[in-house]
């Protein structure tokens, strides 16, 4: 990461490059939380039972059997609007400086709604459920459990 910014490993990133990283983290967070998700006005979509079972098979679940892969299929695709791609190899291999910013922003969105007005479509209860799912299922969740 520092090589991309042309900065020494032992030094703190410049303010400009920190802002760049924060901006990139925000883009990832907005995508993970489906900020620009299409709202289905009709009765939604139907997925065959076979598809639904296959899609949710092996999903990481919290103590209440909730998962980021839980489908809704009316009004929106997923029941919990935080993408299951947070568990992907691509996400796990993000540079540490970027991934820590993404996780910090995710935690902020879920725990301090007033500071994140772009995410006001997430109800308090949905934020709480997503946080519980992540606390229970995300490897090395870096924040104390609520």
Q: Is residue 143 part of a domain?
A: no
3-state secondary structure at position 26:
helix
CB crowding 18-53: b at 16 or more within 10 Å, else e: eeebeeebbebbeebbbeeeeeeeeeeeeeeeeeee
Helix (H) or strand (E) holding 74: strand 71-74
Spatial CB neighbours of 53, under 8 Å, sequence gap ≥ 6: none
Reading phi first (left if > 0) and then psi (alpha if -120 to 50, else beta), residue 73 is in left
Residue 50 lies in a domain: yes
Within a domain: 35: yes
Which domain range does residue 97 map to? 2-137
Assess if residue 142 is contained within a domain.
no
User: What's the pLDDT at 101?
Assistant: 97
Res 122: pLDDT: 96
Predicted confidence at residue 2, as pLDDT, reads: 60
Instruction: Give me the number of domains the chain comprises.
Output: 1
Q: In sequence order, what DSSP letters do the residues of 100-137 get, joined into one string?
A: HHHHHHHHHHHH-GGG-GGGTTS-HHHHHHHHHHHHHH
57 occurs within a structural domain: yes
pTM above 0.85, yes or no: yes
Q: What is the pLDDT of residue 7?
A: 67
- 145 in a structural domain: no
Residue 86: inside a domain: yes
Instruction: Write down the pLDDT at residue 11.
Output: 78
Average pLDDT of adjacent 10-residue blocks, the chain of 146 residues: 66 88 97 86 78 92 96 87 96 95 98 96 96 96 92
């Amino acid at each position: 990461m520092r090589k991309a910014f042309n900065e020494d490993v032992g030094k703190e990133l410049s303010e400009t490059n920190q802002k760049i990283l924060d901006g990139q983290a925000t883009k990832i967070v907005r995508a993970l939380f489906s900020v620009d998700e299409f709202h289905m006005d009709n009765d939604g979509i139907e997925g065959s039972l076979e598809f639904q079972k296959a899609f949710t098979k092996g999903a990481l679940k919290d103590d209440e059997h909730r998962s980021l892969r839980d489908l809704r299929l009316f009004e929106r695709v997923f029941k919990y609007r935080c993408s299951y791609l947070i568990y992907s190899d691509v996400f796990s291999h993000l540079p540490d400086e970027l991934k820590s910013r993404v996780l910090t922003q995710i935690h902020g969105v879920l725990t301090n709604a007033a500071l994140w007005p772009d995410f006001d479509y997430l109800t308090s209860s949905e934020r709480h459920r997503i946080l519980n799912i992540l606390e229970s299922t995300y490897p090395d969740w870096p924040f104390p459990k609520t």
